[in-house]
Amino acid sequence: MSSGLIAGSLKKLWQDDGLWREARSLLEQALSHPSSQRDTPARSSALNTLGQIAFLQEDLTAAESALRQALEMARRLTDAERQVDPLIGLAMVADRRNDYEASDALWNEMVQLGHPLGEVLGSHPSWWAGHHALRLGDYEAACRLFEETWVWERTIQGRENGDVVETLGGIYRRNGNRSRARLFYARGLTVYHTNVRLLICLRGLFLLEEDLGEAARLLGVIDRLQGRLSPEGIQMRPSEARTGAERLPLDPYCAPEHEDREYAKWREQLRAELDPETFRRLWTEGYELDREQLEAYGYAQQPEGFLDLPDAFASGSQCSLT
């Protein structure tokens, strides 16, 4: 099977199920095969996929290498369409390294190919402006711009961008507006349909939850999706076993090391305050939630009128960070 076909067939494995290590290993084997060494659109796409997975694993060196190879191959093939995704990936790598000059140059190169930001991202121009505001630490402006994007997408395009919802949750959580953060993370459970992105919203909700029982249930869902052992030794079913847990940041603007400490601290507090039998029962309830039940949980956290943002947004009252 060609590297391109393998990249396509692995989409569910890495994007939906979050099995990054397994998908990356298979891709690397396919790309190293002697029959896959020619410049082809399929190899360029496979290298791009490899770069995306490495980025999710925080392996920025490997991500940059694969994405750079994908971009250079697409250029040699004069394939403008296949240059877009590697350019976006390389810009994200530069962003993570705080190299904003390089990031801006990569985004501008993409635009020069004839792909407006809104067209490529499927989003309002405020999306990228919001990211710039985050870089500068202007959270009030970032909040306003991301909510503007969210409203525009819902009213004009009739859909929601999960990245916007998730980022708003992260901004509000970081700045102490717990109720607003909770709303957007819960909204993410109804928007996302891939395990990888659901984990971000679930971990955000877990860190915000004040009810110990609800926190234990959320932890059960998180452990199932992330393939971890439970604190009480409950193991994944054999068919769903993982080779190890990945480090998954809640949002790209918060240091993963800080989040891991915060997550571990809350987890240990939960174990200490609930008796073992109660914890096991509640954890198991969360572990056994299916996707429909998880989506219903997200809807249940959203108060009436939450989605009626166009009128409320006009007043500017939605963007308070406190």
Q: What pLDDT is attached to residue 230?
A: 39
> CA–CA separation, 79 vs 56, rounded Å?
25
Q: 177 lies in a domain?
A: no
Question: What pLDDT, on a 0 to 100 scale, did the predictor assign at position 15?
Answer: 60
What is the per-residue burial (b if ≥16 Cβ within 10 Å, else e) of 81-92? ebbbbbbbbbbb
DSSP 203-219: HHHHHH---HHHHHHHH
Place of tokens 């999706």: 225
Domain assignment present for residue 309? The answer is no
Q: Average pLDDT across each block of 10 residues of the chain; the chain has 322 residues. List them in order.
A: 54 62 84 87 91 83 95 92 88 82 82 60 65 79 86 77 84 88 92 76 89 90 67 35 36 47 76 85 90 90 75 47 58
pLDDT of residue 18: 61
Q: What's the pLDDT score for residue 192?
A: 79
Look at residue 133 and tell me if it is in a domain. no
Is residue 232, in this structure, part of any structural domain at all? Answer: yes
First to last CA, the chain: 54
* Residue 281 belongs to a domain: yes
Calculate the CA 93 to chain-centre distance.
Answer: 14
Write down the pLDDT at residue 9. 54
pLDDT of residue 182: 93
Question: What is the rounded distance in angstroms from the CA atom of residue 262 to the CA atom of residue 267?
Answer: 9
- 79 found inside a domain: yes
Q: Say if 303 falls within a structural domain.
A: no
Q: How far is 31 from 38, CA to CA, in rounded Å?
A: 10
Q: Note the pLDDT of residue 258.
A: 52
Domain holding 13: CATH number? 1.25.40.10
pLDDT value, residue 316: 43
Count the domains in the chain: 2
pTM for the full predicted model: 0.65
Residue 69 inside a domain? The answer is: yes
Q: Which domain holds residue 203?
A: 194-289
Q: 115, 131, 157 — which closes off a domain? A: 115
Say yes or no: 5 and 101 in one domain.
Answer: yes
